[in-house]
Structure 1
Amino acid sequence: MSAVYKIPESVLVVIHTQALDVLLLERADRPGFWQSVTGSKDAPEESLWLTAVREVQEETGIRIGGEATLPSAVPADNLRDWQLSNVYEIYPVWRHRYAPGVTHNTEHVFGLRVPRTMPVTLAPREHLNMVWLPYREAADRCFSASNAEAILQLPSFQTA
């Protein structure tokens, strides 16, 4: 049986409120490492949009485009592709998840606006804690430079 490797193309979803508070999640495999929702494509043909929708639901329980009567659902148009991408070197501690010789990942940035009262259910295998912070404080807490930079750009992508 051949190994199944992660695809080196991922999404970063900055979940935020209209008031520019940002949801950060603490990694279960690296306590003290805070980040936005992230995740790789499951298959090469999976669209980035579907990757973002899937990862948000898996990591937070928030359903994008779900039934409006559900307390954990938001309209699909609340998810915005910021048309930004970052290429970064994969941390050595996580390179074993990728095919031999893969050292870089391309990350595509999305924003998701939610109400501050949005119920969040963490995936316990992935995250230990969550916190809502004003966007500048959230950027300061991120361990990833690309995540911090995306959060700092939030005001320019915020829409009414």
Structure 2
Amino acid sequence: MSGPPWKIPESVLVVIHTPALEVLLIRRADAEDFWQSVTGSKDHPDEPLALTAAREVAEETGIRCGEGSPLAQGLRSWGLQNVYEIYPRWRSRYAPGITHNTEHLFGLCVPERLTPTLDPREHTAWRWLPYQEAADACFSPSNAEAILLLPKFAQ
């Protein structure tokens, strides 16, 4: 029997937004006061980051933005990354000794506010907010900072 399937400490953060800079936030099921953008780890070390981003958006919101989809051109890497300390409550998901994660920033521009389809095991609510309000509502400082960069990358 093999050991636990450790999470890879390399992830994506995808800020889903409209042209009017409204941002979709989703609330974590395991922490009721934690509102966030789509985020998730690579499935395997060689997985391309754009594939990770499109997969996570589909898994967490039901929005399809992978290659060949109508929204594929709206998914863009911002060419930025954050390295942050993994919250102690979630470190058991990673191999022993892993304390930091590298997060790659993406944006997904959708033409209008879409209604996401959430997996209630992961997220329990969603809302669209103007980007400044969305940044204020995020529990994660790196997520808030990414949202505040939206005007620069949404052009």
TM-score by length of 2: 0.96
Q: 2:126 aligns with which of 127, 130, 146?
A: 130
Which residue does the alignment assign to 1:113? 109
Which residue does the alignment assign to 1:70? none
Q: 5+ unaligned residues in a row in structure 2: which ranges?
A: none
Distance (Å, rounded) in 1 between the aligned partners of 2:8 and 2:28: 20
Q: How does 1:3-152 map to 2 (within 5 A)?
A: 3-65=4-66, 74-152=70-148
- Contact kept, 8 Å, 2:71 with 2:110, in 1: the verdict is no
1:52 CA displacement: 0.2
Q: Secondary structure at the match of 1:64?
A: coil
| Cα RMSD, aligned residues only | 1.2
Alpha carbons of 1:20 and 1:46: their partners in 2 closer, same or farther (altered >3 Å)?
same
- Contact kept, 8 Å, 1:16 with 1:22, in 2: the verdict is yes
TM-score by length of 1: 0.93
- Contact kept, 8 Å, 2:7 with 2:95, in 1: the verdict is yes
1:66 CA displacement: 6.7
Distance (Å, rounded) in 1 between the aligned partners of 2:4 and 2:116: 33
Q: Structure 1: which 4+ aligned runs deviate by more than 3 Å?
A: none
1:75 CA displacement: 2.5
Q: Secondary structure at the match of 1:63?
A: coil
* Equivalent residue letter for 2:85: E
Q: Secondary structure at the match of 2:40?
A: strand
